[in-house]
Structure 1
C-alpha cells in the first residue's frame, strides 16, 4: 500500500472531488507517486479539460496545494475552473519514497541533488501526464519547483510538451537570500559537515540529528525565532491562518537529500547557477568532462515560451534582487509572453497556503493560463 492512497483518501475525496493515484518510475529507478484531480466538484459537460501539473518546493510535498479549504487551495480552485489537475511529488517525499532496488535507509538512495530532478523526475512526470491525456500541459511551480523548470527550459528539455509555465516565488539565484536560518544553514552546508560529520545523506528536519542541528543553528543566532521555523526560513508570511499552519505542520516538512541542500548553498555562495559542484576538478571532470560544473544558462530559455512570474516583497528566499537578476536573463524574452507580478506584502509560503492567495495570485494566473490554452 503506497502512501499515495492516503492523499486522495484523506485530503481530496472528503471535499467532494474525484481523485486518482498514479505511480511512475524514473529511468534511475525512483518510484514517484502522483495524484490527479480530474475535474471540479460540479461535473463539466464532458468538455476536454486542460491538464496542468503542480510542482511543489523544497522540504514539502504535493499536499501543500490542497491544505486549505477548496475555496483557497490552488489544486481545488484549478479543478473547479475546468482544469485536469496533476500533483507531482519529487523523490524522497512521502508519496515517492520507493525505488526499484534501494531503500530510503540506504545512503545511495539519497545520492542526488536537484540536478536529478531536472534530468529524471520532471521529464518522467511530464511525460506521464502528456501521454495519459494526449495533450500539452501547463506547469505551475513554487520555489524549488520553479528552479528545476527554469533549469530544464534552459537546456531545451521539455518546453515542447508544455503550453506555458507559471512560476510562484521564482528561485534561480540565491545570493541575496535573507533568511537568517537559510544563510546560517548555507554556510554550514558548504562546510559539508552534514554529509560527513553526521554520516547522513537524507536531510529530514524531523530526524533527531537534523533537528538538533537546526536548533543549534537557531540558538546560535538571536535573529532567528526558534519557535517559528517556518518564518525563519521563508520570511514573515502575512496571510496564513492558524489552522492552515497547523495542518501544514501535520504533513510537513518532508525530507530532501543533503546533496540538494549543499547544491542550493553553492548557488547562494557563488551567485551563479550551475550543476552540482563536487568540489574538486577530478570528480567534476569525471562527471561533466570539465573541471568546473557546467552552468545553466537561463538566457537560453526560448523567448517565445509563455511565462508567468509572481514574487513577494517579504519573501526572504526568493529575494526581490535575485528575481531582478533572473528577469535580466530574460530581457530578450518576447514581452507578450512574459507576465511579471509582484505582491508587496507576501512572503514565501503565502503563495501556496495564504488564505488570500486566490485573489492575490491565482486569479491573474488562471487568466494567463486561459490566454495560453
Structure 2
C-alpha cells in the first residue's frame, strides 16, 4: 500500500521478549541521530497498520507525515495477520491469545518505542487511534515510555468506555468472541442493530468517508484480537472502570496482583508536562464525549501549554483516520503541535 503510492518502505520484524519492556533507559545513547524525527502510529481494535494508508497520499496521515519530513513507523498489534511471528506458539495454541490490552501497554508498546528509538537515535512522536490511545494513556499513567517520548496525539481517545453508545460493540463484547467475521452476520440480525451501513453501526455516523476508502478498509477489516482483550474491554463498558483485567475471583486477582481487585490506571498520574493532543468527535459511538469528559477531568491540572484539546462536532470514530477533510481539520493541527515539541 505504501510502495504503490510512490513511497519507499522497509519492513521490520521484531522478536519481543517481556524483559525488553522493563528497560527504562534509552537504548540509543551512542547512536548518531537521524535528521528525520520518528513518528510511531498505532492503530485501533480490529484494524492493522493499513488504517493509516486507506486514503490517497494528500489525505492519509502516514503519507502526510512522510511528506512533511518525518520518519514514519507503522505498528501492527499482536494477533493481527501481519503480527503472528511468535517463536514458540501458533495461533492455534490457547496460550498465544492469553493477553489483553494490559500486555500491549506493559510490554508491546514499550518494546516498539525502544526499537524505533534504537533504530533512529531519536525520541518519538506518537499517534494513537482508539485502542492505540488506551494503551498509551495506560503506559503514561504509570510513567512508562516518557523518557523516549516527544509528544503524543490521541485520536478518538479511549480511557473510559462506560457510556459507549455503539450497540453493535456492546453485543460483540458481551459475547466475548474475537474471531469476528461470522459474528458480524449474527449481530446484524439482532433487533435494533442496523447493518445497512456497518461502519456507522459500529463507530457512529462518520461524516466524511469516501467510498474508495471504505472499500480499501474492508480488504483488511476486521482483524483478529484476543478474546481476553474483548473481555477486558467489556469489563470497562459494563463497569465504567479503568482497571487491569479482572480475573473474576478474589483468589485469582490475588495471585496476579497481590490484591483482591485489579489495580486502577489513574489518569491523574500522567505527568503534567507530557505534551498531549486530544481530538474528540461529537458523533463518536465508541469514544463517547461524556467518557472523554471523564478523561479531561483527570487532566484538569495538566500544564495548559502542554495540552491541546480539539472537538470535531461532526466526526465519528473512523473520521479521524479516514475522513477526506481530516488533513485540514485534524492533521494540520497535529503537524503544528509536533513542531512545537
Structure 1 stretches of 4+ with a deviation exceeding 6 A read: none
1:51–1:129 Cα contact (<8 Å) kept:
yes
Any idea what the Cα deviations from partners look like across 1:139-188, whole Å, max 9, x if unmatched? 00000000000000001111110000000010000011001112223343
Tell me which residue corresponds to 1:52. 39
Tell me which residue corresponds to 1:179. 166
- Structure-2 separation of matches of 1:112 and 1:187: 17
Tell me which residue corresponds to 1:225. 194
Pairing 1:25–2:24 present? no
1:29–1:99 Cα contact (<8 Å) kept:
no
Tell me which residue corresponds to 1:284. 253
SS at 2:202 equivalent: helix
Tell me which residue corresponds to 1:6. none
- Structure-1 separation of matches of 2:241 and 2:91: 31
SS at 2:13 equivalent: strand
- Structure-2 separation of matches of 1:28 and 1:335: 35
Which of 158, 164, 180 aligns to 1:205? It is: 180
Any idea what the Cα deviations from partners look like across 1:167-210, whole Å, max 9, x if unmatched? 00100000110011122233434xxxx5xxxxxxxx1222xxxx
SS at 2:40 equivalent: strand
Q: Deviation of residue 29 (structure 1)?
A: 10
1:118–1:149 Cα contact (<8 Å) kept:
yes
- Structure-2 separation of matches of 1:155 and 1:299: 10
- Structure-2 separation of matches of 1:184 and 1:53: 32
- Structure-2 separation of matches of 1:96 and 1:351: 24
Tell me which residue corresponds to 2:297. 328
Which of 263, 268, 273 aligns to 1:294? It is: 263
2:46–2:221 Cα contact (<8 Å) kept:
yes
Tell me which residue corresponds to 1:215. 185
Which of 141, 146, 152 aligns to 1:159? It is: 146
Tell me which residue corresponds to 1:134. 121
Normalized per residue, the structure richer in strand is 1
Length-normalised TM-score, structure 1: 0.86
Any idea what the Cα deviations from partners look like across 1:247-300, whole Å, max 9, x if unmatched? 100111111011111101101111110000011111111111111110001100
SS at 1:124 equivalent: helix
1:29–1:100 Cα contact (<8 Å) kept:
no
- Structure-2 separation of matches of 1:226 and 1:108: 34
2:48–2:223 Cα contact (<8 Å) kept:
yes
Unaligned runs of 5+ in 1: 1-10, 31-46, 195-202
Tell me which residue corresponds to 1:170. 157
Pairing 1:115–2:102 present? yes
Length-normalised TM-score, structure 2: 0.94
Which of 237, 243, 256 aligns to 1:268? It is: 237
Higher relative contact order (CA 8 A, sep 6+): 2
- Structure-2 separation of matches of 1:173 and 1:135: 32
Tell me which residue corresponds to 2:315. 346
The CA RMSD measured in Å over matched residues stands at 1.6
Unaligned runs of 5+ in 2: 21-33
SS at 1:54 equivalent: strand
In the comparison of the two structures, how many residue pairs are matched? Answer: 329
Which of 49, 67, 72 aligns to 1:85? It is: 72
SS at 1:214 equivalent: helix
